[in-house]
Amino acid sequence: MKLLLKNGHVVSSFNKLEGDFDVLIEDNVITQVAAGIDCEANQVIDCTGLAVIPGICDMHVHFRDPGQTHKEDIITGCEAAAAGGVTAVACMPNTDPVADDPEVIKYILDKAKDAKVKVYPVGAITKGLKGEELCDFKALKAAGCVAVSDDGKPVTNAHTMGRAMIDAHYAGLKVISHCEDPDIVKGGIINAGVVSVELGVRGMSRTSENIMTAREIQLANDLEVPIHIAHVSTKEVVDLLRFATRRGVMVTSETAPHYFTLTEDRLLTRDADYRMNPPLRTEEDMKAISAAVCDGTIDCIVTDHAPHTAEEKADFYKAPNGVVGLETSLAATLTKFYHTKQIKLMQIVRMMCENPRLILGLEGGLIKNGAVADIAVVDLNKEWLVEPEKLHSKSKNTCFKGMMFKGKVKYTIVNGKVVYEDKN
């Protein structure tokens, strides 16, 4: 099987490739990247005027499978991923049952065999996400996990977290930390500030995220092991990360498009589709996150894709936190940074396609001879309206509804096969 991508603008960060080339794929491997490839192929895609980039790796998604498949499952989550140019995802462990056991990991991987994109399980740090007894990291690694996290719940005990960081490191697993102090949050539902006061609801203090991030950085420094900080949302955490990286601490981090695109003002509508954890914060925080993306302080852009049903999101005060994002992440990033000339496409490729794979130790993320053929073909200039009902996810709780973005995925290729084509 031969697939030929003709006349695309190829951008691959890892090998510093940028230019107008053809890409020849045979079976699941890229066999040639050059101008003017002349050969017979089973399928030829004209990529004139389109960007050809490595498939995105979203290292932070929730597919609700097993246990809450009415919200999402592995198959539908991967449908949404493919529509967003995402060819690999790392699924968080807060499922039911919790992904703290090799049998649950086996279930995820078995179901993922029929999915359109590659699924990498993240196991739990502690059994049942209770923050107490550590999981068997070696067993989770052997079962197929690429990282561990208690995402959705923090590991509140510093000794337990330190032990986890050491044990996971030597088991070959990255620790992803959900930085939150529940004793500070105490039932808050949005950012503590002007908007929470106006709405008369309990707020989530930024101190919760700041203090736990500082703890994780200090643990990583003292124990000389790596840590990855999930969903960064505050200006103070940005400062902590800058300081830590200058000191050589082994810390990496991620943020999501809603933190560099939206602010807490959206909550004045009392619409729970703008509620997530950590919450939308202030204009100053949004600017700080944006600056950290531009200067490389933050390593990755992810989605924290968290599906919930319309019924669950109907009650602003009682709704669960979380938004879907797989189909909008690249477009939101292009609109915010590329089309405003703040950063180049090469850097976006680095943060969305390459860095997540490097952090998790996964293959892919580049376009060159011999590389696995996981590719997204993107119309950088295509404008489109985010209409929730047209999303591929089972749940439609997007915080970008009604927004116009510039940049649309036209084709997604996984292992040399076209798994998504935009026909609009």
Asked, for residue 419, whether it belongs to a domain, the answer is no
Comparing CA positions, the residue from 148, 293, 305 lying closest to residue 232 is 293
Question: Which of 183-207 are b and which e, b meaning 16 or more Cβ less than 10 Å from the residue's Cβ?
Answer: ebbeebbbbbbebbeebebebbbbe
Asked, for residue 282, whether it belongs to a domain, the answer is yes
> For position 107, which CATH number holds?
3.20.20.140
* Strands 227-229 and 2-12, bridge-based pairing: unpaired
Exactly one of 304, 315, 374, 379 is catalytic; which is it?
304
3-class state of residue 199 by DSSP? helix
Q: Is the pLDDT of residue 231 over 90?
A: yes
The pLDDT tens digits of the residues spanning 86-98 come to 999 999 999 999 9
34, β-bridge pairs: 22
Rounded-to-integer distance, Cα 6 and Cα 48, Å? 7
* Strands 203-204 and 147-149, bridge-based pairing: unpaired
Q: Is the pLDDT of residue 283 over 90?
A: yes
Comparing CA positions, the residue from 65, 274, 59 lying closest to residue 173 is 59
Asked, for residue 200, whether it belongs to a domain, the answer is yes
The pLDDT tens digits of the residues spanning 208-221 come to 999 999 999 999 99
DSSP string of 211-261, one letter each residue: HHHHHHHHHHHHHT--EEE-S---HHHHHHHHHHHHTT--EEEEE-HHHHH
Asked, for residue 357, whether it belongs to a domain, the answer is no
Q: Is the pLDDT of residue 395 over 90?
A: yes
Mean pLDDT for 18-28 is 97
Mean pLDDT for 78-85 is 98
378, β-bridge pairs: 51, 409
Comparing CA positions, the residue from 404, 412, 371, 372 lying closest to residue 387 is 404
| Degrees to nearest 5, angle at CA 254 with 71 and 207 | 90
Mean pLDDT for 159-164 is 98
Structurally, the chain folds into a number of domains equal to 1
pLDDT band at 43 (very low <50, low <70, confident <90, very high): very high
Averaged pLDDT of the chain? 98
pLDDT at 115 (0 to 100): 98
Q: Give me 65's structure tokens.
A: 């499978």
Rounded-to-integer distance, Cα 56 and Cα 354, Å? 8
Rounded-to-integer distance, Cα 146 and Cα 362, Å? 8
DSSP string of 327-377, one letter each residue: TTHHHHHIIIIITTTSS-HHHHHIIIIIHHHHHHT-S----STTSB--EEE
Q: What is the pTM of this model?
A: 0.98
pLDDT band at 424 (very low <50, low <70, confident <90, very high): confident
Percent pLDDT > 90 in the chain is: 99
Asked, for residue 11, whether it belongs to a domain, the answer is no
Rounded-to-integer distance, Cα 67 and Cα 279, Å? 25
The pLDDT tens digits of the residues spanning 345-393 come to 999 999 999 999 999 999 999 999 999 999 999 999 999 999 999 999 9
Mean pLDDT for 178-205 is 97
Q: In this structure, is the dihedral angle defined by the CA atoms of residues 176, 182, 188 and 191, taken in order, positive or negative? A: negative
Range of the domain at 94: 56-327
Mean pLDDT for 411-423 is 97
Q: Give me 211's structure tokens.
A: 């203090």
Amino acid 131 reads: G
DSSP string of 13-61, one letter each residue: TTTTEEEEEEEEEETTEEEEEETT-----SEEEE-TT-EEEEPEEEEEE
3-class state of residue 149 by DSSP? strand
pLDDT at 312 (0 to 100): 98
pLDDT at 3 (0 to 100): 98
Asked, for residue 407, whether it belongs to a domain, the answer is no
pLDDT at 353 (0 to 100): 98
Rounded-to-integer distance, Cα 168 and Cα 416, Å? 33
pLDDT at 349 (0 to 100): 98
Q: Is the pLDDT of residue 135 over 90?
A: yes
Asked, for residue 346, whether it belongs to a domain, the answer is no
| Degrees to nearest 5, angle at CA 94 with 279 and 134 | 110
Q: Is 265 a catalytic residue?
A: no
Asked, for residue 239, whether it belongs to a domain, the answer is yes
